[in-house]
Structure 1
Amino acid sequence: MTLTLHAHPFAAFCQKALVALHENATPFALRHIDLRKEEDRAALIALWPFRKFPVLVDGDRVIAEATLVIDHLDRHHPGPTRFTPQDDDAAAEVRLIDRVIDNYVLVPMQKIATDPLRAEGERDPVGVEQARATMQTAYAWLDKRLAGRRWLAGEDFTLADCGAAPGLLYGDWSEPIPATCPALRQYRARLLTRPSVVTVVEAARPYRHLFPLGDPGRD
């Protein structure tokens, strides 16, 4: 049975799920959702009323939220890469890092990137500065976590790295990773050479004009 991912190639949380799908070469169909189109919005709302993507359809199962999509792949469509370790303590660390990436990198990144889309009198400079501070705190925390590690949770590529791929790609465009975080900068460069990540980044390249802060002209 074919998996169908309702997503947009350029959306950060969609890329998180797409990295996992490509990492294990899991067969799937992409239902390209363009939220500017009424029919696409309606199709997404019919699956998930919060109108957020990605949403994975697997037979009669509908799985929303990128982390849960990847959990579903681990359980029902496993491949060579296991995204969450079976060991409870190792799994807890992966999930902690996943939460940090989502809540303290991806979410504030979106705040910074989308604030310019607001009308002049509705912009939130205080909120943007808070978002920048949150990202810098997350960068420093991640940099320390990476000491002696190839990937965020150790030697194995995991759920945490799936989220870090778009998180650090777009994060560095929005709030640059400082020179005081050399391990994180090196990790970001290494992550962007991972074949599954390269596939996702290249598929999204034609949409870079959509980035509200402007196409930075670099990965």
Structure 2
Amino acid sequence: MSLILWSHPYSGYGQKTAVALYELGLPFELKLVDGSPEVMDGFLAVSPFAKMPTLIDTAAGRTVIESSIVIEYLDRLAGAGRLIPDDPEAALEARFIDRVLDTYVGGNMNRIVFNRLGRAGAPNETAMAQDAKELETAWDMLETRLADGRTWGAGESFTLADCAAAPLMTYARRLVPFGDRPRIRAWHARLMARPSFLRALEDAAPFGDLMPAPPPED
């Protein structure tokens, strides 16, 4: 198999890439990054920053890191135009929504989780409050963006933006609920029914619930 994905099925950014692979129908081999010393030695050899996911295309002799770049690479590999629209304006919107999700949803979520798990000592309540506030701002921005009636994150087709949204919104809403934002709720419901994301969730299920926050009650 020519595509090897170094990742963990519970990783939000790993799930983002898995959704893209399933959408595009590209078979791949998972190299499970489980934290063991022997695995980490191999992972660091291909991913110097130890960030998941990392894609190895053995047929092309390419190593690709950063989930958004990995998905752009996969889209081109599959024939282009599916997850990155051919239309320049549509492509720009897909990339913009992806950046909002990665930076202001995933980024803030990960910092809150980092604090809750005590990875840097006692949780910094001030920092967590600031991250939660930025997450609220991200929800507001996305709710406004969806006001034009689009079906998916960047328009009428499922794109890079939705690959990011499916896992990152699912986990982040457990920290900062969607609240009274009906358009985000409806979009998220469509994502939760997408077969590619359901497959990614099935991959993660054997590892249990690793999120240090209860399921949302809203």
TM-score of the alignment, normalized to the shorter chain, above 0.5: yes
Instruction: Spell out the pairing of 1:52-91 with structure 2 (5 A cutoff).
Output: 52-59=51-58, 60-78=61-79, 82-91=82-91
Instruction: Specify the alignment match of 2:154 in structure 1.
Output: 153
Change (3 A) 1:119 1:7: closer
Cα displacement (A) at 1:145: 1.1
TM-score w.r.t. length of structure 1: 0.92
Instruction: Specify the alignment match of 2:44 in structure 1.
Output: 45
Measured against aligned partners, the alpha-carbon deviations of 1:13-42 in whole angstroms (never above 9, x if no partner) come to 10110000011221111111112x111111
Instruction: Spell out the pairing of 1:55-134 with structure 2 (5 A cutoff).
Output: 55-59=54-58, 60-78=61-79, 82-118=82-118, 122-134=122-134
Instruction: Specify the alignment match of 1:175 in structure 2.
Output: 176
Q: Secondary structure at the match of 2:157?
A: coil
Cα displacement (A) at 1:119: 6.4
Answer yes or no: is the 8 Å Cα contact 1:4–1:28 preserved in 2. Answer: yes
Instruction: Specify the alignment match of 1:3 in structure 2.
Output: 3
Cα-Cα RMSD: 1.8
Q: Secondary structure at the match of 2:212?
A: coil
Amino acid at match of 1:12: G
Answer yes or no: is the 8 Å Cα contact 2:171–2:211 preserved in 1. Answer: no
Answer yes or no: is the 8 Å Cα contact 2:8–2:32 preserved in 1. Answer: yes
Answer yes or no: is the 8 Å Cα contact 1:114–1:212 preserved in 2. Answer: no
More off after superposition, 114-123 vs 198-207: 114-123
Structure 2: which 5+ residue stretches go unaligned? none
Change (3 A) 1:171 1:58: same
Instruction: Spell out the pairing of 1:2-41 with structure 2 (5 A cutoff).
Output: 2-35=2-35, 37-41=36-40
- How far apart are the structure 1 equivalents of 2:33 and 2:47? 13
- How far apart are the structure 2 equivalents of 1:217 and 1:161? 20
Structure 1: which 5+ residue stretches go unaligned? none
Instruction: Specify the alignment match of 1:205 in structure 2.
Output: 205
Answer yes or no: is the 8 Å Cα contact 1:101–1:167 preserved in 2. Answer: yes
Cα displacement (A) at 1:2: 1.8
Amino acid at match of 1:30: L
- How far apart are the structure 1 equivalents of 2:111 and 2:208? 18
- How far apart are the structure 2 equivalents of 1:209 and 1:96? 30
Q: Secondary structure at the match of 1:209?
A: coil
1:162 aligns with 2:163: yes
- How far apart are the structure 1 equivalents of 2:121 and 2:102? 28
Change (3 A) 1:149 1:119: closer
Cα displacement (A) at 1:120: 8.8
Q: Secondary structure at the match of 2:177?
A: coil
Q: Secondary structure at the match of 1:100?
A: helix
Amino acid at match of 1:143: E
Measured against aligned partners, the alpha-carbon deviations of 1:136-186 in whole angstroms (never above 9, x if no partner) come to 11101111111211101110000000000111110111111112x110011
- How far apart are the structure 1 equivalents of 2:213 and 2:39? 25
